[in-house]
Structure 1
Amino acid sequence: MLIIILYFFIFIVAVQILFYLGFFGKFAFAKAQKITPKKIPISVIVCAKNEEENVINFIPLLAEQNYPDFEIVLIDDASNDNTLTIFEGFEKQYPNVRLVKVQNNEAFWGNKKYALTLGIKAAKKEYLLFTDADCYPTSKEWITAMSSQFTMQKTIVLGYGKYEKIANSFLNKIIRFETLLTAIQYFSWAKMGHPYMGVGRNLAYKKEEFFNVNGFIEHMKVRSGDDDLFVNQAANARNTTIAFMPESFTYSKPKTTYKDWIIQKRRHIATANYYKKFDKFQLGVFYCSQLLFILLAIVLLAFQFQWIIVLSLFCVRYIIAWTVIGFSAGKLKEKDVVYWYPAIELVLIFTQINIFITNTFSKPVHWK
């Protein structure tokens, strides 16, 4: 039995190395990007529901962007706080702000996709740049950096949405590492010509891509997924590229309690169930191989069976993974979380298992 486990362990190590070197290395070792400014008309779209504290601070940062031709489409999704009042003030203050007021619709009540659809239709520009109400750009060149990746063929641009650092918080390191690993995955697969997701905190596409797939209609009943499910449906090797220069990043406020983060992750993982079959397969293989790598190594080392071989393979896998993640973290300015990699990986593996079991028996809560 132990010899069979050893052979299976060797296979799992090979799978992990394939993912890290063969797949994720496409992004980790890619050349740095340069910004070539373009004068593409851009509509920046922000959808908010009960976000008064965030929008009052972050929308002015969008208005200060150094870009020659852009508008800001603010969508108030039937907020019951002062979000709409603040938006109305911005509409009067900034000439390039367009306000969309969404009333509760019986058929689409509480559905962010319905609100976004109205905002997209109201946008006057052909190229759309999305971020969330609790996000802000890292520089005044954010629109310039993201739009610089558009070409005649590349009409979907996947960006990186960072989370703010919180000093002396291990949870913050977990959240930021998980965000880093997710970005490594979707950036790498996009570079290989198989884009499967993006994040609404930082995503751009031409309006025609939205209408080519009839908007969100195929997954309108799924409350989440206005970003990743849309990309999963509309993106392909011909029309999709990535933006990872520092000027293209956005920042968001991270969750500060483990409970709130778990709720957020439950939504994300539940949405992944609607991905295309291959995308679910490759994600499943990666996460299962992570788990099996740890479990099989523990079993073999506990019995001290061929422990030199096992320990050598264990170290080789960690060196390769750590190297790939380290180079990727350098590109995305997240180097500080890499030092905690082994501990964070263990937490994430068993968190995934917990969420999978929980989601099996109850549905997560979605848009506010």
Structure 2
Amino acid sequence: MTFLDVVFYLFIFVVSIQIIFQIFFFGKFAVIKSFKKKSTKVGVSVIICAKNEAENLEMFLPSVISQKYPDFEIILINDASKDNTLEVMESFQNKHDHIKVVDVKNVEAFWGNKKYALTLGIKVAKHDYLLFTDADCKPVANNWISQMCSHFDDSKTIVLGYGSYKKIKKSLLNKLIRFETLQTAITYFSFANAGLAYMGVGRNLAYKKSEFFKANGFVNHIKVRSGDDDLFVNQIATSSNTAICFSEDSFTESIPKTSFKNWYKQKRRHVSTANYYKLKHKLLLTILYSSQLLFWLLATLLFTQLFNWQIVLGLFLFRLLAQYTVFILSAKKMEEKDILFLLPFLEIFLIFTQLTIFINNLVSKPNHWK
């Protein structure tokens, strides 16, 4: 058996893995429809942790305050900001009775630790249902709280939402950021739909306060700078307690990074938390990423050598067709259809960007959240 024979059979194996993921994981999510549940109208505490976010709070907090929901409070956590974040929070508090402000000072044991600040905010929340977003986020609709919290019931104590990024015209970086966000959402929604919930995003995440205290909060990973959202969900999520919410009115929208350097640093922090996931999740995600990387490497090698090129081309197109079908249906759900025409380029660029992130994170650890 020649070297190219080995490459060819390995390529068939890799394509098979990719098809299994596309059909049995991502495909099942792609075809399900969002359904409107009757809201239980439970009391909700919306929690926003901010560090040096005065301008963003002034811009986006009104969209949270104006939510059409009968019983909610807003917990604003000032995490040792150096700007006038605290003053902005207090000015909103003076105008609205349902706003509480928690002013967190740096302490030596938890210096620059967002999880410490969040814990203090969660402790003062009066409701058992907690809904999280960031200071640079805004709900896209005034029934965001209603949409997200309608998925709570006796068995569902975690709700995963979608945190989109604002569209910027004629920006390739913006399309890359939104593609990565969409791909990540497809993955965590699909896995949760299959009973394998492994993460959520703090821009749009809800869970019961009782779950937080049952898990002793963030204590299991308090020394890990990132992961107040994905690591916590990875810790407490089960096959039966997690719901997904992807109705259009349930989205939040954030301000994206405008330089590749800043986005790269942000992704380094996010990727670093994956080392602490449960073993089954790490294995699945490693298989998924490795098969994506090998698909493009092996296909390129086989095409350049014209080795069984008719079969290779057929498998190549079949995998792309399966992927495009999933992305078209999923992008329609998440209002991200404008990035589809760049799909192959964005996927390849993202795969190799992630590879450099993995290597960099092995050499040095990324910094804390801000």
Q: Does TM-score exceed 0.5, indicating one fold?
A: yes
2:109 to 90, 107, 110: 107
Q: Distance in 1 between matches of 2:364 and 2:121?
A: 32
Q: Distance in 2 between matches of 1:360 and 1:95?
A: 48
Tell me the residue number matched to 1:55.
Answer: 57
Tell me the residue number matched to 1:265.
Answer: 267
Tell me the residue number matched to 2:215.
Answer: 213
Q: Distance in 2 between matches of 1:10 and 1:367?
A: 41
Q: Distance in 2 between matches of 1:354 and 1:33?
A: 39
Letter in 2 for 1:232: N
2:176 to 165, 174, 177: 174
Query: Pairwise mapping of residues 113-262 of structure 1 onto structure 2 (< 5 A)?
Result: 113-262=115-264
Tell me the residue number matched to 2:17.
Answer: 15
1:191 offset after TM fit, Å?
0.7
Give 3-state SS (helix, strand or coil) of 2:33's partner: coil
Give 3-state SS (helix, strand or coil) of 1:79's partner: coil
1:67 offset after TM fit, Å?
0.2
1:181 offset after TM fit, Å?
0.5
Tell me the residue number matched to 1:342.
Answer: 344
Q: Deviations over 1:228-259 (max 9, x none)?
A: 00000011112111100011000000011111
1:52 offset after TM fit, Å?
0.7
Q: Distance in 1 between matches of 2:31 and 2:175?
A: 23
Runs of 4+ in structure 1 off by over 6 angstroms are none
Letter in 2 for 1:226: D
1:38 offset after TM fit, Å?
2.2
Q: Distance in 2 between matches of 1:106 and 1:306?
A: 63
Tell me the residue number matched to 1:97.
Answer: 99
| Residue pair 2:143, 2:249 contacting (<8 A) in 1 also | yes
Q: Distance in 1 between matches of 2:34 and 2:272?
A: 34
Equivalent residue pairs, number: 368
Give 3-state SS (helix, strand or coil) of 2:306's partner: coil
Q: Distance in 1 between matches of 2:51 and 2:4?
A: 56
1:5 offset after TM fit, Å?
1.1
1:263 offset after TM fit, Å?
0.3
Q: Distance in 2 between matches of 1:106 and 1:359?
A: 25
Give 3-state SS (helix, strand or coil) of 2:151's partner: coil
Tell me the residue number matched to 1:307.
Answer: 309
Tell me the residue number matched to 2:47.
Answer: 45
Q: Deviations over 1:41-77 (max 9, x none)?
A: 0000000010011001111111100000000000001
Q: Distance in 2 between matches of 1:69 and 1:359?
A: 43
Q: Distance in 2 between matches of 1:211 and 1:174?
A: 37
| Residue pair 2:48, 2:135 contacting (<8 A) in 1 also | yes
1:67 to 69, 72, 85: 69
1:37 offset after TM fit, Å?
2.3
1:2 offset after TM fit, Å?
1.1
1:31 offset after TM fit, Å?
2.0
1:353 to 345, 352, 355: 355
Q: Distance in 1 between matches of 2:45 and 2:144?
A: 13
Letter in 2 for 1:129: L
| Residue pair 2:34, 2:245 contacting (<8 A) in 1 also | no
1:215 offset after TM fit, Å?
0.2
Q: Deviations over 1:9-66 (max 9, x none)?
A: 0010000001111111121011222142221000000000100110011111111000
Residue identity over aligned pairs, in percent, reads 58
1:261 offset after TM fit, Å?
0.8
Q: Distance in 1 between matches of 2:330 and 2:368?
A: 31
CA RMSD of aligned residues (A): 0.7
Letter in 1 for 2:49: C
Q: Which range moves more in the overlay, 67-76 or 330-339?
A: 330-339
1:358 offset after TM fit, Å?
1.1
Q: Distance in 1 between matches of 2:41 and 2:357?
A: 44
Query: Pairwise mapping of residues 262-301 of structure 1 onto structure 2 (< 5 A)?
Result: 262-301=264-303
Q: Which range moves more in the overlay, 139-148 or 30-39?
A: 30-39
Give 3-state SS (helix, strand or coil) of 1:210's partner: helix
Q: Distance in 1 between matches of 2:135 and 2:332?
A: 27
TM-score by length of 1: 0.99
Structure 2, unpaired ranges of 5+: none
